Structure 1
Amino acid sequence: MQPRVVIIGAGIVGTALADEITARGWTDVTVTDRGPLFRTGGSTSHAPGLVFQTNPSKTMAELARYTVEKFSGLGAFDTVGGLEVATTPERWTDLHRRHGWATSWGIPSRLLDPEECARLHPLLDRERILGGFHTPTDGLALAVRAAEKQAQRAIDRGARFLGYCEVVDIVHREGRVRGVHTADGQDLPADIVISAAGFWGAELGRRVGLTVPLVPMAHQFAKTVQVPALDGEERLPILRHQDADLYYRTYGDRIGIGYYGHTPRPVDMDNLLRDTAGEPMPSMLPFIESEFEPAWAESVRLLPALGDSKIDEGFDGIFSFTPDGGPILGEHRDLDGFWVAEAVWVTHSAGVARAVAEWIVTGTPDIDLHEADLHRFEDAARSPEFIRRTSVQAFVEVYDILHPHQYRTEPRNVRTSPFHPRQCELEAYFFEGALWERPAWYEANAGLMEELAADGVEFPPRDDWSSRFHSQISIAEAKWTRTHVALYDMTPLTRYEVSGPGALGFLQELTTNDIAKKPGAVTYTLLLDARGGIRSDLTVARLGGQLFQVGANGPLDFDWFTRRLPGDGSVTLRDITGGTCCVGVWGPQARELVQPLCADDLSHKAFGYFKALRTYLGSIPVTMLRVSYVGELGWEIYTTAEYGAALWDLLWAAGREYRAIAAGRIAFNSLRLEKGYRSWGTDMTTEHTPDMAGLGFAVRMNKHSFLGKRALEAADPPARLLRSIVLDDPHAVVLGKEPVSVDGTPAGYVTSAGYSATIGRTIAYAWLPASVQPGDRVEIAYLTQVFGATVHTEPVVDPDMSLIRR
């Protein structure tokens, strides 16, 4: 029997969902909307429809590309092309970076000089621009037409659409959706309810105890009167002038202008109907002309023909912003059958609908969605204050040039390890990640640079872009780790305690490696989805017969485990991250530092690699794991938070004899690249199988069963592989997402990179065709330069792994 599906919202997302779900054979679908069909009064109804596919996120770019393809097939897309212009040197460099993204993701594009830009868009003042970025397959989505066309296809398959039918409550019993209740007293039964209500989605979520982290924001859009220079027949490309927070499109002989440079205006949903009274629809606020004056003045400078025109009409349209700019997709953890597809722009709407429909119908999306998953946020990031402040900042930064290593500036100091005061004393420079303060490097180590330089260590200069959020001190920290010993704060590493009589079986079924080892064993393993894609990589330490510590990657892992807990109570899952802390002590002198503090034998014979030991350092109870993400002798040393400061002080005092240092995240990243260690979410995602990512060693196909095993058994040999590449020029640096060419043809892209103090070159990971082998030459396009590189065997440093096993 087919599930009954109710979709709340008949805008661009709800109609696309109805189309995609019915296309997969589920036809008992009802779509409701509080407004008329299909100009419902939501964000879709006033959307200007500009679709620029290029995005730093591969996922978002693919969602946009599908939207273009689908809308084009529906006759609801005008392929006029996209043009982004630079009026500053910084933006011109950034357009090179955007061109790199487009090349990496397979989107046709080219960089233009001012004359070429003016030929594409004759209204431009070519003297004001330095160049442009042209994407010929971008264009205008006819949003209401696309919604109606998709709805009609769904209706033809059996779906029904109800206008003026506002859902006021979600009916549920015993943890499962049962239907919806409408304002006119109807009860619509349902097995699955999908909230695609746009900026009303957060209100709906609250009714079922779900935080949907979005903020409705007002955005200015205006139309001119007739522009004499336009004849109404010209098909000018959509245009972005991001240096001034502006975009443009034509409406015949008029021009529409969108502006992000005004004061952010979060919408008060409690007073929405009052504030929009008298406007054409409830998603439109009154136009504030004074806020738009800078936009008009700059528009006349860029497009002088507007000097013969004026603004005819305008409005402040409402749509959703989120803390990180991504959509909010997924199922309520505590209410089976309640799904959300919110904060989705027209640009990505059809792609999102396809992925969510696949997710609902088959259980697994056909594209990696970790950047858009509802459950990606930490607890503190679901607070009203955090959601509001960061979503407002996301609005401010829409057209800003954002560095890939740029971190959030507010709020800060929300999560700190017990070592934080000591790190401040060492003048740590902190990055923020998942609300943790993470030392990137320590100014206290600056003196090491001169000492190491005298020993021949190179500290090559960097270009302006790559030197941001970076310090050459990190090179010294990485080198010191390889030659002496260093302390790394590993507290932000997510960790769970899994316990109970069913714990072993639970982990065995969900992970790829064999966890059924004696207590004291540590196992590197993977979580796969049903398609065999890598959802996460884990380090599982068996601390007792029924007790495991699991090193994971973040909230998505907790959600994955929680949904699969057995219903008999035989497994207990706890997130112990905040109540514990961890120091990584690594380097050739790590044993000399730690052994005098411990009564147990820490020799390699007694305490081998990938083993765990619960013991004491001094008076401090600790759990030591003989693992090393930096590829050196040493341990991850865990204790509970109340002992954290004492543990740091104990290790620091013992380390003075060996000139131990504290080292930061940049050195850490460099060292893990030397040793061939992957980073989930950056180097690999659900779109990659273990063999593709070079992690086949973490899979035991002789296990009776594990999630994803069938997919691996049926998989073809990988067509693409994750490869280590080493850049030729010791001064060359790449940062990630740059296109990689083989024999002059774009063939892949960089995932992550770091400068290796050991070999004096940048090492990067890149996805490349399987035919590309170690020793082959490749080229990487970085901003305005092209760097040569060679595919290298792994690991690049210490291939026999002798450093770890000392």
Structure 2
Amino acid sequence: MSSTPTATPASRPREPEAVGPEPVGPKVVVIGAGIVGCSLADELTARGWTDVTVLEQGPLPAPGGSTSHAPGLVFQTNPSKTLAEFARYTVEKFGSLHVDGVSCFDRVGGLELATTPERLAELHRRAGYAAAWGIRGEIVGAARCKELWPLLDESVVLGGFHTPDDGLARALLAARAQQERATARGARFLDRHTVTGIEQRDGRVTGVVTDRGAFPADHVVSAAGFWGPVIGRMAGIDVPLQPLAHQYVQTRPLPELAGATAEASRPILRFQDRDLYFREHTDRIGIGTYAHRPLPIDPFAVLPYDEARGQGMDMPSSYPLTAEDWAPSWDDSRWLIPALRDAEVDEGFNGVFSFTPDGMPVLGESRQVRGFWLAEAVWVTHSAGVARAVAEWMVDGRPALDLHECDLARFEEAQRSPSYVRERGCQQFVEVYDVLHPLQPMESPRPLRVSPFHARQQELGAYFLEGGGWERPHWYEANAPLADGLDLPERDAWSARYWSPVAAAEAKATREKVALYDMTPLRRLEVTGPGALAFLDRMTSNNLRKKPGAVTYTLLLDETGGIRSDLTVARLAPDRFQVGANSIADLDWLLRHAPGDVQIRDITSGTCCIGVWGPLARDLVQPLTRDDFSHEGFGYFRAKDTYLGHVPVTAMRLSYVGELGWELYTTADLGLRLWDTLWEAGQEHGVIAAGRSAFNSLRLEKGYRSWGTDMTDEHDPYEAGVGFAVRMDKDGFVGRQALEGRGQALGQGLENRVASGRRLTPLLLDDPAHVVLGKEPVYVDGVPAGYVTSASYGYTLGRCVAYAWLPTAATATGTAVQIEYFGAKVPATVAEEPLFDPKMTRIRR
């Protein structure tokens, strides 16, 4: 890769000697022969795409990127199910690879230590993730930690989390093994080729230019690691990735390890309370630290391999160790491991790794330059899993795993500025080993995006959390008096964070009176043009061929019937639709498929929305308009353009909280006037502003799904409980063929999705005092059988509601299960949904 993204005249590339069969399939050029590029070449050629060329600027087999210095730690447990699946496959695959009789993976296990009560609780939570995702692990006491790692000072250890199937990946060896396999199938690997340009024509990639010639391509994959932004710029694509230096040292030989012959025999060790990890190097100890200040690196200033060597660097990814940053971690290391107190550091360096604003990889095909793919910000831990997913995506049209957390289209425009990427990347480095609450927001840069109502919300004492850059009120301190006298169970310290009893009062007020909810952060798309109806009808699962004024809940499916997203589509005119979507990735998906007679415009930033819900919603809204807002005059799932006071609005009779009401849309410049109009008119009805915390409780009581949490493209509509949004009598919609027969089986009372034998299932916790938060394992007959997706206390029901994916055999109403919460088994029972107002009388009044 080159730090100068300028094209050079194309010349004929050097032809390698034939070492395998004649390549077949599309021409693929992979940029970067690190662990990701080599893994991808292996996965592609194994699927029959053998016309693969891998270009590398450095020498093989050690090209000088992150792979060349990676310490090789592979811990599978992660709050992200997707990352855990990536790591699990990496362990499985590398464990099966050998080079010259040496395994590419050393299954020594992993041990995470706790020296504080907070960390010990966190390890119980991590053990829950492991059980949820099917990873072996157990919480062990200090004595067992000492057995596993005899060099520890047992007196400072409270306990640990032992994962016997984790271990050390020999990254360069694994890269070599996969390179050899891919080469045998027809791929070629060319080192000393610096990429200088990406060729494209008519919105498609056509080739890669290097300093040694041009290579035609149908697909180009940037697996360039921290050079990813450089390659991306050549293609005109922003890659939101920040390289940072991370310190790693090796000690001199330790007497306590004298005579060791194996590279490692003890588990890889994490001391997260001090941001440290340890691994053996035969008779030495390797130590890595995230405790130092962030050390960002400009990817455009990283030297090519030969220039780096010419300046005395071992490789472009290895900078000199900064002693002042290392000193505190060395003290902490000697505090934990007495054998290090008389030891000396033999060598060390600051090695460069990639970080994104949210800590996840950046994967997928660019919409702007079709055929240009990213496989970036991937660590060795997840490398083989990522490669398999990207290869599936390229060859089969979709990956088997849900990748929405990694999709390159997931970042908002406001999250793509260089300043944002740098600041958030640095913070991700700081937080690598931090104990993070699932609701914990970023601290900076905030506020970034605010609705027009923000000033009024601040006046009401809004407690803001953040999502997608938006400030989102979770409750309002102005409502605190309403919480007086409520009988609520006492919360544990973890579930009490980012929560307030005010949320219960706001939920109660919504059920009994009327509340205003800021729905502005929800994405809104305008779809227009003569082909708009046909396009949306083909792209979604429900019937959209209704008269203007109709609103339809529908699904975006992929070709396998997986749920890409759920939408509300309002037909406002014959050729004009407003689509309520989940993320910017939905916009990207629709734009990829839109024909020339359809225009799609993101109108989120220029508009705003207030949800007015509660039994007194009509009493509040009707006096403000001349239009009929009665049930007969304005039915459920209908829309109309009207005026409320002086404000033009598009009103949609929808409810995500299970109460009468409307979503009211207007332009951003009139948003504050709309809020004030509703607030003033609502005073006689006891109107309040309510936040996301109450909102989530109310929607779970009604069983309304949250895409990306409760269901993803790994699930079909029938097992997810949204089969009602599929109209199989409609021809030709995306995913229809894959769903053939599944709905009929459900209608005949057979098991839901027989092929998978699973179902999204409502659970009620038996004890009103218990609360869970999500991602906890669910046990059936004492065995982990599924996991919680969403959970919240149901204030109307007086018990915590949890939705979980469970085997169909365990989903009968009344089935007893257990949810593991910080190591404790909490009893719960499968319930019948909807849990609240099953006849929908409150919404349809």
Same fold by TM-score, threshold 0.5 exceeded? yes
Secondary structure of residue in 2 paired with 1:371: coil
1:371 & 1:526 partners in 2: Cα distance? Answer: 19
- How much does 1:272 deviate? 2.8
Are 1:129 and 2:168 an aligned pair? no
CA contact (8 A) 1:458 1:760 kept: no
Residues 453-497 of structure 1: CA distance to partner in whole angstroms, max 9, x if unpaired?
2xxx42221111111111110000001100010000001110100
Range moving further from structure 2, 163-172 or 267-276: 267-276
1:509 to 515, 535, 538: 538
Q: Which residue of 1 aligns with 2:720?
A: 693
Paired AA for residue 81 in structure 1: G
CA contact (8 A) 2:308 2:314 kept: no
Q: Which residue of 2 aligns with 1:804?
A: 843
Are 1:153 and 2:181 an aligned pair? yes
2:809 & 2:571 partners in 1: Cα distance? Answer: 39
2:757 to 713, 719, 736: 719
CA contact (8 A) 2:544 2:552 kept: yes
Q: Which residue of 1 aligns with 2:12?
A: none
- How much does 1:781 deviate? 0.7
How many residues are aligned here?
A: 798
Residues 651-679 of structure 1: CA distance to partner in whole angstroms, max 9, x if unpaired?
00000001100000000000000001000
Paired AA for residue 134 in structure 1: H
- How much does 1:784 deviate? 3.4
Q: Which residue of 2 aligns with 1:614?
A: 641
Are 1:246 and 2:273 an aligned pair? no
CA contact (8 A) 2:768 2:799 kept: yes
Are 1:730 and 2:730 an aligned pair? no
Are 1:791 and 2:830 an aligned pair? yes
- How much does 1:391 deviate? 0.4
1:790 & 1:738 partners in 2: Cα distance? Answer: 15
Are 1:373 and 2:410 an aligned pair? no
Are 1:280 and 2:314 an aligned pair? yes
Report 1:106-145 matches (<5 A): 106-145=134-173
1:538 & 1:664 partners in 2: Cα distance? Answer: 22
1:289 to 323, 326, 338: 323
Q: Which residue of 2 aligns with 1:411?
A: 445
Are 1:104 and 2:132 an aligned pair? yes
Q: Which residue of 2 aligns with 1:557?
A: 586
Residues 736-780 of structure 1: CA distance to partner in whole angstroms, max 9, x if unpaired?
000110111111111111111111111011111101111111111
1:236 to 252, 266, 274: 266
CA contact (8 A) 1:520 1:613 kept: yes
CA contact (8 A) 2:529 2:597 kept: yes
Are 1:323 and 2:351 an aligned pair? no
CA contact (8 A) 1:375 1:556 kept: yes
Paired AA for residue 789 in structure 1: A
Paired AA for residue 757 in structure 1: Y
Secondary structure of residue in 2 paired with 1:308: coil
CA contact (8 A) 2:463 2:477 kept: yes
CA contact (8 A) 2:229 2:299 kept: no
Paired AA for residue 66 in structure 1: Y
Report 1:585-600 matches (<5 A): 585-600=612-627
Are 1:400 and 2:434 an aligned pair? yes
Are 1:634 and 2:674 an aligned pair? no
Q: Which residue of 1 aligns with 2:294?
A: 264
1:404 & 1:722 partners in 2: Cα distance? Answer: 21
1:648 & 1:37 partners in 2: Cα distance? Answer: 63
Paired AA for residue 41 in structure 2: A
Residues 264-296 of structure 1: CA distance to partner in whole angstroms, max 9, x if unpaired?
000133443378721111110011122111111
Q: Which residue of 1 aligns with 2:783?
A: 745
- How much does 1:413 deviate? 1.8
CA contact (8 A) 1:275 1:285 kept: no
Paired AA for residue 499 in structure 1: T
CA contact (8 A) 1:593 1:655 kept: yes
1:518 to 547, 557, 582: 547
- How much does 1:359 deviate? 0.2
Paired AA for residue 463 in structure 2: Y
1:265 & 1:285 partners in 2: Cα distance? Answer: 11
2:608 & 2:198 partners in 1: Cα distance? Answer: 41
Q: Which residue of 2 aligns with 1:345?
A: 379
State TM-score, norm by structure 1. 0.98
Q: Which residue of 1 aligns with 2:706?
A: 679
State TM-score, norm by structure 2. 0.94
1:280 & 1:713 partners in 2: Cα distance? Answer: 58
Q: Which residue of 2 aligns with 1:468?
A: 497
- How much does 1:643 deviate? 1.1
Residues 703-728 of structure 1: CA distance to partner in whole angstroms, max 9, x if unpaired?
11111111111665241100110111
- How much does 1:606 deviate? 1.2
- How much does 1:176 deviate? 1.2
Secondary structure of residue in 1 paired with 2:387: helix
Are 1:651 and 2:651 an aligned pair? no
Residues 162-220 of structure 1: CA distance to partner in whole angstroms, max 9, x if unpaired?
01111111111121111111113x01111111000000011110112111000110000
1:687 & 1:605 partners in 2: Cα distance? Answer: 40
Residues 526-584 of structure 1: CA distance to partner in whole angstroms, max 9, x if unpaired?
00111111100000011010110000001110110010011xx2101000001111100
Secondary structure of residue in 1 paired with 2:279: strand
- How much does 1:133 deviate? 0.1
1:575 & 1:712 partners in 2: Cα distance? Answer: 30
Are 1:538 and 2:567 an aligned pair? yes
Residues 50-84 of structure 1: CA distance to partner in whole angstroms, max 9, x if unpaired?
00000000000000000000000003000000000
CA contact (8 A) 1:777 1:790 kept: yes
Are 1:478 and 2:478 an aligned pair? no
Range moving further from structure 2, 240-249 or 329-338: 329-338
Paired AA for residue 551 in structure 2: V
Q: Which residue of 2 aligns with 1:32?
A: 55
Secondary structure of residue in 2 paired with 1:771: helix
2:617 & 2:700 partners in 1: Cα distance? Answer: 21
Q: Which residue of 2 aligns with 1:305?
A: 339
Range moving further from structure 2, 173-182 or 85-94: 173-182
1:206 & 1:515 partners in 2: Cα distance? Answer: 40
Q: Which residue of 2 aligns with 1:494?
A: 523
| Superposed structure 1 runs of 4+ greater than 6 Å apart | none
- How much does 1:692 deviate? 1.0
Change (3 A) 1:279 1:409: same
Paired AA for residue 822 in structure 2: L
Secondary structure of residue in 2 paired with 1:678: coil
Paired AA for residue 174 in structure 2: A
Are 1:444 and 2:482 an aligned pair? no
Report 1:219-234 matches (<5 A): 219-231=246-258, 232-233=260-261
2:239 & 2:226 partners in 1: Cα distance? Answer: 10
1:275 & 1:754 partners in 2: Cα distance? Answer: 54
Residues 4-52 of structure 1: CA distance to partner in whole angstroms, max 9, x if unpaired?
0000000000000000000110111100100011200000000000000
- Structure 2: runs of 5 or more not aligned: 1-23, 98-102, 743-752
2:691 & 2:158 partners in 1: Cα distance? Answer: 39
* Percent of aligned pairs with the same amino acid: 62
Q: Which residue of 2 aligns with 1:89?
A: 117
CA contact (8 A) 1:780 1:786 kept: yes
2:816 & 2:324 partners in 1: Cα distance? Answer: 57
Residues 424-455 of structure 1: CA distance to partner in whole angstroms, max 9, x if unpaired?
110101011111111010000001012xx2xx
Report 1:425-436 matches (<5 A): 425-436=459-470
CA contact (8 A) 1:228 1:308 kept: no
Q: Which residue of 1 aligns with 2:6?
A: none
Paired AA for residue 734 in structure 1: V
